[in-house]
Structure 1
């Protein structure tokens, strides 16, 4: 067996529409085709791939963090991303890794899932 890469992440929510809107507005992910499961949800796409599955129908008090710490995406356009996060009033932390110089941006989605965006070291934080 060979692992070829990550296929998708799943976020549990009590509000599918709000979660889809957040990832669409903030990360430009696009809702697309999803099998007709017997539970509410959505699949969000980037560059033609369903990379984020949203599963609804969960009570807020049942949404507890597990052993997964965060979701990380490779991204392009650091300056524009920082401007977009600010425009949507999303609190975030931006830092540059020592050594590699990779830019990392961290924030939380409406469900409390921590999201990381990684940008190339040569990107500019200016919009």
Structure 2
């Protein structure tokens, strides 16, 4: 049997590293962490303070996503402390998103796309 300890990292394909870094650092507020000297560009980020990571990998292929935000598409989720504060921040930054305070999941959800159209969920405990 596989004994899980948690998710270590999620990797996403990006086409423009500087544009992606601006989004993940300036919009989502993630902090960079040390990355091994691979022979291809990318960036690693800490997600929270429990050791979980997000890895960006530069790839010149095209993404498969062409439409808008689809909450049932493949995505990863980051838990945020405050739903309203996060929605307000995204609005001030001009980031298109879909927010649902009363999701049937039992927690509030916000969905958005990064510059390469990767779907991201930000969720918060209901108050």
- Which of 112, 119, 125 aligns to 2:117? It is 112
Residue equivalent to 2:84: 79
Shift of 1:10: 0.8
Equivalent positions of 1:32-47 (< 5 A) are 32-47=33-48
Shift of 1:50: 5.1
Q: Deviations over 1:68-125 (max 9, x none)?
A: 711111121222211111111111111121372x100001000010100110011xxx
Give 5+ residue unaligned stretches, structure 2: 66-72
Q: Deviations over 1:44-83 (max 9, x none)?
A: 1133435110001x22x53335xx7111111212222111
The number of residue pairs the alignment matches comes to: 117
Residue equivalent to 1:8: 9
Asked if the contact 2:7–2:52 (Cα under 8 Å) also holds between the matched residues in 1, the reply is no
Which aligned runs of 4 or more in structure 1 are off by greater than 2 angstroms?
A: 46-50, 61-65
RMSD, aligned CA: 1.7
Residue equivalent to 1:125: none
Q: What's the TM-score once normalised by structure 1's chain length? A: 0.83
Asked if the contact 1:43–1:50 (Cα under 8 Å) also holds between the matched residues in 2, the reply is no
